[in-house]
Amino acid sequence: MKKFSLLLLLCAFFLIVFPSEGSAAAVQSKIILDGKEIGMPSGVQVQVINENVMIPIRVVVENLKFKVDWNQKTQGVMIQQDTKIITLTVNQQSATVDGNQVVLNTAPQVKNETVLVPIRFVSEQMGLLVSWDNVDKTVYLTSGNKESINNGQAGVDTGEVTPTPNVPTPPPTSVPGIDGSGQTTNPLNRLNGLSFVNNQLLVTLDGAITPEISRLTNPDRIVIDLPNTNFADSFGTIHPLDSGLKGKLDLSGYPNVSEVRYSLFTRDPYKVRVVIALNAANAYQLSQDSDSKMLIIDLNASEDSNTIPPLVPVPVVPSGHKIVVIDPGHGGSDPGALSISKKHEKDFTLAVSLKVQSLLLKESNIDVVMTRDSDTYPTLSERAQLANRLYADVFVSIHGNSNPSSKPSGTETYYYQRSSSKDLANVIHKYLIKATGLSDRGVKSNSLHVIRETKMPAVLLEIGFLSNSSDELMMYSDDYQNKVAQAIVNGIKEYLGVK
């Protein structure tokens, strides 16, 4: 191997154009290490690729004090700190940590003559805490010891513990990806999002886990520990984290719940803690779905239980807010339609839906819930059941259209029978046509599962045709997606009568 140097970074690399270029975005960003900003070289930027934050390795070399070697022939990078060695190869998702193989979510890449590596993977393996604030476009890196992050937030919980009945304790976890014998284990889970609706906490993850739940007193609270879990890179898009990797949901309209706190509680092993702060003792009921990777902690229960409750009417605590469920079509193992330039529908629907969610979160009278906020696949039945269980006021499923012919173009909106659904469809469609500028293909009735099985006003939006080159070009642009998201929100607000 040749010694990795700034000269090689500036002069030796060539630009590699990847098929997934459309999913990568350069951002004007900052990197904060232990509270101090790291100077970014001119022309070098953090990139977000497939929802993973990628950092120029040059910054790792100069500021994180890791030893890095580059092999031009093999396109391989070796990163070393003390006795730990990580090897990565450009455009390969397989990496090694101390000789043991692990799999990355996103492979290292070369952009603008600079090698980009997944900062979360590198930093976690090297003992740093990482968070990404998508609002400020800032990467936070925190070094330090391996103790609990305890300074008065969700990481501190003392008092009498009321054991949780029938909740099994998971086995101890080791370094994510490697067990004590050096064999590959399950990868680290990610917490993608939190919502509190109808006196229920909804926790969305990218992997199935067994939570550890306890009721504590003085003060009263319910503590949910998520083992082998860290925050997803995109978590900060929805719920910004501070430099200590802590945050909270401020709630209103719930007489017995004052707030929901969350933090990275420990990192050896990794564990996220979520605390529901109560004004008085409260029972809960846990349900979880291994396919959609969602946990629901229902505080409307009369006694503690971790069994999956039947989907029957349950008295809820009204908050006075309107509940909107946004359903990004497809996801996970179901990519949806393939666009004319080989992009997946599931990526388009998630991108638009996250923008809708971001706008709705600014509305003080609306609670928004996503059927998925990452690349997972809840079944059609699970999407409808979630909306029904939450007694949602509105359900909106977002899709991209396709046709064997490349000629069809335009926007169309579907509803199923109910007059309330037709009214919602007409209102949202009106805004979509104005925003997209595409052909008006009309509002239509169709027996589609998610709008047929939901019990509230429900629509399915076909924003444009992925099979049409003109439509597709616009559909994957941020400007178009922002216009579409705002149109959907405008339609929802008009229908709900929210100012």
Of 485 and 112, the structure prediction assigns the larger pLDDT to: 485
Q: Which two tokens stand for residue 318?
A: 């009204």
Considering just the CA atoms, what is the radius of gyration of the chain in Å? 23
pLDDT greater than 50 at residue 20: no
Collapsing DSSP to helix, strand or coil, 487 comes out as: helix
Strands 46-49 and 189-197: unpaired
Q: Map out the domains of the chain with their CATH numbers.
A: 2-142 (3.30.457.10), 161-298 (2.60.40.3500), 322-496 (3.40.630.40)
Mean pLDDT to the nearest integer, 151-156: 36
pLDDT greater than 50 at residue 156: no
Look at residue 399 in the predicted model and tell me its pLDDT.
Answer: 97
446 in Cβ contact with 416 (< 8 Å): yes
Look at residue 484 in the predicted model and tell me its pLDDT.
Answer: 97
Q: Which two tokens stand for residue 445?
A: 């009735």
Tell me how many degrees the CA angle 324-326-328 measures, rounded to the nearest 5. Answer: 175
Look at residue 192 in the predicted model and tell me its pLDDT.
Answer: 86
Of 84 and 28, the structure prediction assigns the larger pLDDT to: 84
Of 399 and 145, the structure prediction assigns the larger pLDDT to: 399
Look at residue 185 in the predicted model and tell me its pLDDT.
Answer: 45
pLDDT greater than 50 at residue 131: yes
Of 400 and 127, the structure prediction assigns the larger pLDDT to: 400
pLDDT classification of 184: cutoffs 50, 70, 90: very low
Could you give phi then psi for residue 463, rounded to 5 degrees? Answer: -70, -35
> Which helix (H) or strand (E) is 352 found in, with range?
helix 345-360
Q: Which two tokens stand for residue 317?
A: 């605590």
Look at residue 144 in the predicted model and tell me its pLDDT.
Answer: 54
**Which of 412, 425, 420, 428 minimizes the C-alpha distance to 489?**
428
pTM score: 0.65
Cα separation, 411 vs 79, whole angstroms: 49
Could you give phi then psi for residue 495, rounded to 5 degrees? Answer: -65, -40
pLDDT classification of 147: cutoffs 50, 70, 90: very low
Cα separation, 291 vs 289, whole angstroms: 6
Mean pLDDT to the nearest integer, 4-9: 34
Look at residue 116 in the predicted model and tell me its pLDDT.
Answer: 84
Does residue 494 carry a catalytic annotation?
Answer: no
- Which of these ranges, 166-170, 195-199, 389-393, has the smallest mean pLDDT? 166-170
Percent of the chain whose predicted confidence (pLDDT) is above 90: 36
Active-site residue, selected from the candidate residues 51, 124, 345, 462: 462
pLDDT classification of 431: cutoffs 50, 70, 90: very high
pLDDT in tens, 440-491: 999 999 999 999 999 999 999 999 999 999 999 999 998 999 999 999 999 9
- Which of these ranges, 83-97, 159-173, 256-270, 384-398, has the smallest mean pLDDT? 159-173
pLDDT in tens, 78-106: 888 777 888 888 888 778 888 777 777 67
Average pLDDT score over the chain: 79
